[in-house]
Chain A
Amino acid sequence: MNLSTPETILSIQDLHASVEDQQILYGVNLLIKEGEIHAIMGRNGSGKSTLSKVIAGHPAYKVLSGSINFKGTNILELAPEERARVGIFLGFQYPVEIPGVSNLEFLRVATNSRRKELLKNELDTFEFEDLVKERLKIVEMDPAFLERSVNEGFSGGEKKRNEILQMALLEPVISILDETDSGLDIDALRIVASGINKLSHPNSATILITHYQRLLNEITPDFVHIMADGKIIKTGNKELAIDLEKSGYDFIDKNTKDKELAK
């Protein structure tokens, strides 16, 4: 057994970022270690999705100051595909439809580019089909989806399952799942959540970005962070999420106000 202290995967320090000349993040700090599950909660517009896009390197988002280190290396200069290859995975809130591009082909190219990074052999069409069929079971997805264009005409739930399938294939070190639970019915939520649970791993970590507590009934986070106005304003354990569910976001506002008053 490995008893040494768990390694830091992601370290974000005093991150300020903007999109379309509007600043959204005002000093985010976050430390994520191996084996941990973090949940980030907050109202719409609090900066949760922006944070995920910045970590993944979306070109429309500009980092104004601060740093993001992945396993001790600064990743801010890396292109999005390079971040993906080292093992950063973003599960999109709204996965984009790409008509004409075969889902199977897309998954294979993506998987091979990650495998190349891991110095594993690249898979040919047949080998890949075997792999993908096995991984499909994790998300209980119909193989027919492989024959279609990327996300094209998929329902909300099917798109999210396709995201988790990609996660299963890319075997990321850190998965940032942006509102993966939104728009899912109970069954789909259960499938997606069990997929995430099956894929979690002592050497990897997960960030769940969510608006509601219900996903957290299925996946137990080690830490819960609350974001407001582009900052993490409170960190706690699962209880915090439950409090939040009970009393709503107003209770945070009140808390922070009290704090400010106390100062």
Chain B
Amino acid sequence: MNQTNTVEEIVSQPYKYGFITDIETEKIPKGLNEDVIKLISKKKKEPEFLLKFRLRAYEQWLRMKEPDWSGLNYSKVDYQNLVYYAAPKQDIKKKSLDEVDPKLLETFDKLGIPLSEQKRLSNVAVDAVFDSVSIATTYKEKLAEHGVIFCSISEAINEYPDLIEKYMGTVVPINDNFFAALNSAVFSDGSFVFIPKGIECPMELSSYFRINSGDTGQFERTLIIAEESSSVSYLEGCTAPMFDTNTLHAAVVELVALDNASIKYSTVQNWYAGNEKGIGGIYNFVTKRGECRGKKSKISWSQVETGSAITWKYPSCILQGDNSIGEFYSIALTNNFQKADTGTKMIHIGKNTKSKIVSKGISAGKSKNSYRGLVSISPSAEGSRNYSQCDSMLIGDNASANTYPYIQSKQPQSNIEHEASTCRISEDQLFYLQSRGIDFEESVSMLISGFCSDVFNELPMEFASEADKLLALKLEGSVG
């Protein structure tokens, strides 16, 4: 049908963040062994415990096998052919933004993340990470007034080693999975957030990740701790230049929420997805997990996934504290040869824990879009409830949409409900909008936004418009 063809054209559009910043970087030689890990640790002037942490993880990693269970065929990564540390040539973090290489500021400007004092976003504090290193964090002082710590993880390792030692690796153990072990061994930078007891974080926190070098693996590590009765909303965005090789991105994110604390973690992922023939693009193999350790704590994940050649990611919640709440809202849009295998795990352990999953997958081209999720209710989780809704939309007849919800219950006083549907853009709805004078492209875009609205509503204000723009951008193109 030619209507389908035009819809397909609408979802294809060139990647706008594919430029490379020409900047001198300091790289260590390719390859991975104990010495490389020691070198990374030394370059970052890390305390002894962290080096040990890395080496333990490396030892575990050597014994693990790269997973191949999800039916995603991809050319395997040559781990000895990657660079594990790359940083723009400048001294470790500058005290003031004025000292940051203007080329870097310009890069982030171009990406829509202005960092300079005059232009920066008014209510969002940003930590900008370029290749392996955090280059700037805005509003640090203002946050410090409230006792909120927001800095790069490297900085935190040196300045708050106790917190790092206490929490890092407690949510995602070093041997959790192949990629988490690798990350634990070689992670370069990332963000650290600490919200003290009783504090509601006065502004949105945001990290922006940029891969610039083609042969560098990106292994960032994020740790967010919300103490009793505190709350925070954190956003994360990512882009990369276009390379015709696949770049590996294996991040680990750990969230800890204590009693009555709440963490909202949002992601707009727009890594380079490869070209229309499926060449190049990022392998996005990420482990994200939050632990509702305290009573009545809440962790909410929302994500808009539009990029990467392959995405493997399951932001999860361990609902340990009684009455804790886990949420997962996801939009995944795939096109061309992209493969996204994403979903969540909701592990109910505490009493009266609740979880909600809303997933919207849109697949176009020859892409493969899968929802894979686990809802597990342990015998201890009396009175727990889960509600899941997974909807897929297919555009064109070469794309595939799969749903694999794993449901496991060992507690009779609990309730699980799962609903899923698959549809395409309805001709009648399209005609209705067109018959009111709205053009084809905008009608399709409206319908896709409508399909995703349950998730958009969950994104923080500043972000919702960014995400909508991103989808619209993805949908931009000429109508044939």
Residues of chain A touching chain B, judged by Cβ–Cβ distance below 8 Å, are 56-60, 79-81, 83-85, 90, 92, 95-96, 98-102, 105-106, 109-110, 113-114, 117, 149-150, 166, 170
Collect the chain B residues with CB atoms within 8 Å of residue A96's CB: 426, 428-429, 432
Using A81-B433, A96-B429, A102-B453 as known contacts, list a sample of 20 further A-B pairs with CB atoms less than 8 Å apart, ordered by residue number in A: A58-B431, A60-B427, A79-B439, A79-B440, A80-B434, A81-B437, A81-B439, A84-B435, A98-B432, A98-B450, A99-B450, A100-B449, A100-B452, A101-B447, A101-B450, A113-B436, A113-B439, A149-B453, A150-B432, A170-B437
Are A95 and B439 touching (Cβ within 8 A)?
no
A98 to B437, alpha carbons, bound, how many Å?
16
Residue of A nearest to B452 (CB): A100
A68 to chain B, nearest CB (A): 15
Collect the chain B residues with CB atoms within 8 Å of residue A90's CB: 435
A263 to B440, alpha carbons, bound, how many Å?
50
Residue of A nearest to B432 (CB): A96
Interface flag for B451 (CB, 8 Å): yes
Are A113 and B433 touching (Cβ within 8 A)?
no
Contact partner of A100 (CB less than 8 A), chosen from B434, B436, B443, B454, is B454
Residues of chain B touching chain A, judged by Cβ–Cβ distance below 8 Å, are 3, 426-429, 431-440, 442-443, 446-447, 449-454
A73 to chain B, nearest CB (A): 17
Are A59 and B450 touching (Cβ within 8 A)?
no
Collect the chain A residues with CB atoms within 8 Å of residue B437's CB: 81, 84-85, 110, 113-114, 117, 170
User: Which 4 residue pairs spanning A and B have beta carbons closest together?
Assistant: A100-B450, A100-B453, A101-B450, A84-B437
Collect the chain A residues with CB atoms within 8 Å of residue B442's CB: 109
A79 to chain B, nearest CB (A): 7
A85 to B439, alpha carbons, bound, how many Å?
10
Task: Label chain B's interface by main secondary structure.
Answer: helix
Contact partner of A106 (CB less than 8 A), chosen from B428, B446, B452, B453, is B446
Contact partner of B435 (CB less than 8 A), chosen from A81, A99, A105, A109, is A81
Q: Which of A59, A92, A102, A114 has the most CB of B within 10 A?
A: A59
Q: Which of B428, B436, B438 has the most CB of A within 10 A?
A: B436
Collect the chain B residues with CB atoms within 8 Å of residue A166's CB: 436
A105 to B446, alpha carbons, bound, how many Å?
10
Are A110 and B450 touching (Cβ within 8 A)?
no
A12 to chain B, nearest CB (A): 18
A-B contact pairs, 20 of them (CB 8 A): A56-B435, A58-B431, A80-B435, A81-B433, A81-B439, A81-B443, A84-B435, A90-B435, A96-B426, A96-B429, A96-B432, A98-B432, A98-B450, A100-B453, A100-B454, A101-B446, A101-B450, A102-B453, A113-B438, A150-B432
Are A81 and B447 touching (Cβ within 8 A)?
no
A97 to B426, alpha carbons, bound, how many Å?
11
A57 to B433, alpha carbons, bound, how many Å?
12
Are A84 and B432 touching (Cβ within 8 A)?
no
Are B436 and A84 touching (Cβ within 8 A)?
yes
A200 to B380, alpha carbons, bound, how many Å?
68
